[in-house]
Amino acid sequence: MVYDKENFKNITIKDVAKRAEVSIATVSRILNGKDRVSPLLAERVLLAVKELQYQPNDVARALKIKESRSIGLIIPDIENPFFPALVRGVQDAAKIHNYAVILCNTDGKTEEEKKYIQFLYSKRVDGIAFTESVDNKKNIALLDSLGIPVVLLDRRVEGMKASGVSTDNRLGAFMATQHLIEKGKQRIGFISGSPKLSSGADRASGYQDALLHYSIQYDKKLVFIGAFTYESGYAAVENLLLSRHQFDAIFAANDIMAIGAIECLNRYGIRVPEDVAVVGFDDIRLATWYKPLLTTIRQPVYEMGQYAIKLLVEHITGERSCPYEKIFAPELMIRQSSGGLEESK
């Protein structure tokens, strides 16, 4: 199988026109169903299309109408268990609107993000769905100067410079902490995500809100800054253990860190949930496969991906002109790692 381009008779609109004995303008009109055309010609054209197996060249179309029917999706890493569902939501929604999704992994590097934005711009994507790694607004500004519609994924938008889709992280963290408190826990450790991200900062706020609300002293010795990774969750607990500060619960700002935390606790012979209760955040699939089943805050990730594209398309078509922020409600999923549904002891 030699892929010699020349061997493949690229059927163009011209071929169809010739076969149907009409002008190329007529073919175009019929295929796009815009102007009115006589049914007679339409029939002839459609027949020719079928006979020749004609597939319009979207590249040429894109050049002409300045609309590529493709969008960029920039995320840190598809291997991070948080993203597959998000990506799937994006892709499913994009498919409905007939957009191609170009996937980009940045590993959370601002420089990579910038490169990809330029790359996507050269491809003249119609819009970009973007999970920024750092909330630095620089890349948003770049996008803005390029005139590319953006929707921020899993990020709250400071100053509403762009539309965004996220979960109410602050509320979610409040609920998680509250759950632990209602379980009778008083010394609740917190493993934060990166405070540079709105998701990280908001979850930290929610944790503090809950302590305040229940009149529990905030103790910064119980707080560690993680990086949303397994390793950072593990390390945080190890540090906590070595510091010899008492604690009876851990709230980790995402599930992977929670699992890292539990692994570390187990390693030191501490039982979850008997000795220490643990709550995570995100409700990734693993949360229900891991043992103990992980109590966590569910984000409707798939729906967030879908909604982001809905918004993005509205911006692309001009249906919506002002930035809009969609915030989904978090949901507490009570499972084993926090002691389940039983009463506090």
Partner DNA sequence: GTGAAAGCGCTAACAC
Partner DNA sequence: GTGTTAGCGCTTTCAC
100: partner contacted, choices DNA, a second copy, none (Cβ within 5-8 A by kind): a second copy
CB of 124 to a second copy, least distance (A): 5
Looking at 30-38, 203-211, 221-229, 251-259, which segment touches DNA (CB under 7 A)? 30-38
The radius of gyration of the chain from alpha carbons, rounded to an integer in Å, stands at 26
Residue selected from 3, 34, 244, 321 as contacting DNA according to rule CB under 7 A: 34
Binding site for a second copy (CB under 8 A): 1-5, 7-8, 10, 55-60, 62-63, 66, 68, 70, 73, 77-79, 81, 83-85, 87-88, 91-92, 100-105, 118-124, 144, 146-149, 161-162, 259, 285-286, 289-291, 315-316, 318, 321-323
What is the number of residues in the chain? 345
- Shortest reach from residue 126's CB to DNA, in Å: 15
* Peptide linkage before 330 cis (omega within 30 of 0): no
Q: Does residue 31 interact with DNA by CB under 7 A?
A: yes
Q: How far apart are CA 330 and CA 172, in angstroms?
A: 5
Q: Do the Cβ atoms of 31 and 57 come closer than 8 Å?
A: no
Q: CA 304, CA 302: separation in Å to the nearest integer? A: 5
24 touches DNA (CB under 7 A): yes
Instruction: Supply the minimum distance, in Å, between the C-beta of residue 97 and DNA.
Output: 17
Q: Which residues contact 207 (CB under 8 A, 6 or more apart)?
A: 173, 174, 176, 177, 188, 190, 251
Residues 6+ apart with CB under 8 A from 202: 156, 168, 169, 170, 173
101 binds, among a second copy, DNA, none (CB under 5 to 8 A by kind): a second copy
Residue 36 within binding range of DNA, rule CB under 7 A: yes
Q: Least CB distance from residue 226 to a second copy, whole Å?
A: 17
25 binds DNA (CB under 7 A): yes
Task: Output DSSP code: residue 282.
Answer: B
The residue among 1 and 242 lying less far from a second copy, judged by its C-beta, is 1
Tokens of 116: 């990809």
| Residue 310 CB neighbours (<10 A) | 16
| Shortest separation between residue 66's beta carbon and DNA, angstroms | 7
Q: Is 35 in the site for DNA (CB under 7 A)?
A: yes
Q: How far is CA 275 from the centre of its chain?
A: 34
Place of tokens 């002008």: 23
Residue from the set 60, 96, 141, 160 that interacts with DNA by CB under 7 A:
60
Stretch that binds DNA, among 38-46, 282-290, 304-312, 327-335 (CB under 7 A): 38-46
Q: Does 38 bind DNA (CB under 7 A)?
A: yes
Residue with tokens 């930035």: 323
Q: Which does 24 bind (CB under 5 to 8 A by kind): a second copy, DNA, none?
A: DNA
Residue 181 binding partner per list a second copy, DNA, none, with a CB distance cut-off of 5 to 8 Å that depends on partner kind: none
Cα distances from 25 to residues 13, 28, 38, 218, 261, in angstroms, run 9, 5, 13, 72, 65
Q: Does 88 bind DNA (CB under 7 A)?
A: no
Q: Apex CA 53: angle with CA 49 and CA 57, to 5°?
A: 85
Can you tell me which of 43, 47, 50, 57 binds DNA, judged by CB under 7 A?
57
128 three-class SS = strand
User: Between 40 and 341, whose beta carbon lies closer to DNA?
Assistant: 40
Please state, in angstroms and rounded to a whole number, the distance separating the CA atoms of residues 90 and 113: 18
Binding-site ranges for DNA (CB under 7 A): 10, 12-14, 21-26, 28-29, 31-32, 34-38, 40-41, 56-57, 60-61, 63-66
